[in-house]
Structure 1
């Protein structure tokens, strides 16, 4: 844990060193705010004091202010932030040994009140991989060890194009909680969007009616052909007047059936064409299917309109 803590604080020190020195007016304002914060702290008004210590530190990040801010944060229960500041002061107060010893003792005392989270990644070099432990972004590595406060900590690992891995750990003070992040699978090509189901069902219904119409037309056509053939082979060959009358009626009836067959052919064909148009012009509806992974469950998530 001590090695990890060193790395964290060194990063903070380097970031602070890169910042330009405060202007004279900013330093003066920081001193004024610091004195006001000290007065509030002496009166036990630590919530108000912490706000002012933080403001003073932002204006002029001096080590003396850092010690007071760390003490205030510890009283508020913000142990990790307090530890970071105490450790920073201890490492950068070589010229003030009393302050260095005080800060180191306070930082070491806080270590036992913090917990360690260990996150194992199977592909830490994946492009775009991001890891968040609680409210802090951390650099991906094969094994990440981080100090946290002893409470529920959310671990979130994301990779572009993949569903995020989320889980929660419950480390205790002085203990270690570990999580092994499963490897992200290969990026799957998204399924082509499907046509809106309601329009597809409508097209199917219209097509079914159209096909039924074509079937009816075929029935009428066969019946008309048979009736016409029977009339020609029967009554139409006889010279008797009564037979000729029956022949004309049968031929007219066959013609009527043929007309019905023609009408059903046209109607059925139109309906089939309309069904094709409804299907082709149906808007596409995207349905996304993605795996969902956590330390407790595996499954599939389906998003779309049904």
Structure 2
């Protein structure tokens, strides 16, 4: 697998890495005859895919298309980690302006090269050291350190061991959020520029006041109160009851008239006592229905009068209290309006 990617090692680092390897070769003694080539094996699918991604990423980087190039190189190194791939990825991120990311990748490149006893470790360390003076650093400090407090930087949790430490970050804007159970959260946004050191102080969350409830929106014209106070509302209700009583009285009166006419017809033409009794019974029924009609008209009329009075008379103290009391007597029925207007 290493033989498949050997040819990309020198081109994987920045121009400084390539020049360093060229100088080292010029200072060496004349090389000995090369050994016989070792038999090669077919690359694995992962290595072949990594090689293709590496070549695509290198071409995109040459064209200045940093975002696409870095994505290709990162995927290639994930499939088949190599010194050259990571070195070129670091150079890509440096060109993007992601200084802290490039710095970490140069240091990792140096570690890989040292483990492989590769001379490019020194050049990778030099590139990392060259970036250090311009690295932005961001420190998040807790006024009251607590294991319950969790701090997030752009939605990624900051490890507890990094709190209070000036951590190298890429230039840009960061949202710092501190949370703890049953406490108000603290949120702040800060922009960090190259070479700057920024500090975010997180106050004691126990001393923070809960955020105020959002103010209720001002009522619009259509939501504004109609101006109907208890007095006018009572007037509308009483008038409605009165109107219903008038309707009931009218219907009952019409039914009573029909029953009465039918009872008279039976009484005038009855030939037997049974038929005459039926006429008398129907007349009694008509009388009861007429009583209902009378009560309905009485209640309805009184309700309408009381409702109109409540709506028309100016408001007074105390608020009006009204009631309609129907009554029935042997001579008919009616209603009495009781209350304070």
TM-score (norm 2): 0.46
Matches within 5 A, 1:223-234: none
Q: What residue is the counterpart of 1:88 in the other structure?
A: 108
Q: What residue is the counterpart of 1:14 in the other structure?
A: none
CA distance in 2, matches of 1:45, 1:143: 36
Matches within 5 A, 1:134-145: 134=154, 136-140=156-160, 143-145=164-166
Give yes or no for contact 2:101–2:169 (8 Å, CA) kept in 1: no
Alpha-carbon spacing, 1:207–1:176, altered in 2? closer, same or farther (3 Å): farther
Q: What residue is the counterpart of 1:177 in the other structure?
A: 198
1:162 Cα shift? Answer: 4.0
Give yes or no for contact 2:98–2:171 (8 Å, CA) kept in 1: no
1:175 Cα shift? Answer: 2.9
Question: Aligned with 1:93: secondary structure?
Answer: helix
1:71 Cα shift? Answer: 0.7
Give yes or no for contact 1:33–1:52 (8 Å, CA) kept in 2: yes
CA distance in 2, matches of 1:91, 1:33: 23
For 1:69, which of 71, 89, 103 is the aligned residue? 89
Q: What residue is the counterpart of 1:236 in the other structure?
A: none
For 2:47, which of 14, 21, 27 is the aligned residue? 27
Q: Tell me whether 1:260 sits opposite 2:330 in the alignment.
A: no
Matches within 5 A, 1:1-306: 24-42=44-62, 46-94=66-114, 95-127=116-148, 129-134=149-154, 136-140=156-160, 143-185=164-206, 205-206=229-230, 212-214=319-321, 259-261=336-338, 264=339
CA distance in 2, matches of 1:52, 1:172: 27
Alpha-carbon spacing, 1:33–1:172, altered in 2? closer, same or farther (3 Å): closer
Give yes or no for contact 2:101–2:170 (8 Å, CA) kept in 1: no
Give yes or no for contact 1:79–1:149 (8 Å, CA) kept in 2: yes
TM-score (norm 1): 0.51
CA distance in 1, matches of 2:185, 2:90: 34
1:101 Cα shift? Answer: 1.1
1:91 Cα shift? Answer: 2.7
Pairwise CA RMSD: 4.0
Alpha-carbon spacing, 1:58–1:207, altered in 2? closer, same or farther (3 Å): farther
> Which ranges of structure 2 fall in alignment gaps of 5 or more residues?
1-42, 214-218, 220-224, 235-317, 324-333
Q: Which has the higher contact order (CA 8 A, sep 6+)?
A: 1
Alpha-carbon spacing, 1:146–1:205, altered in 2? closer, same or farther (3 Å): farther
> Which ranges of structure 1 fall in alignment gaps of 5 or more residues?
1-22, 192-196, 218-255, 269-306
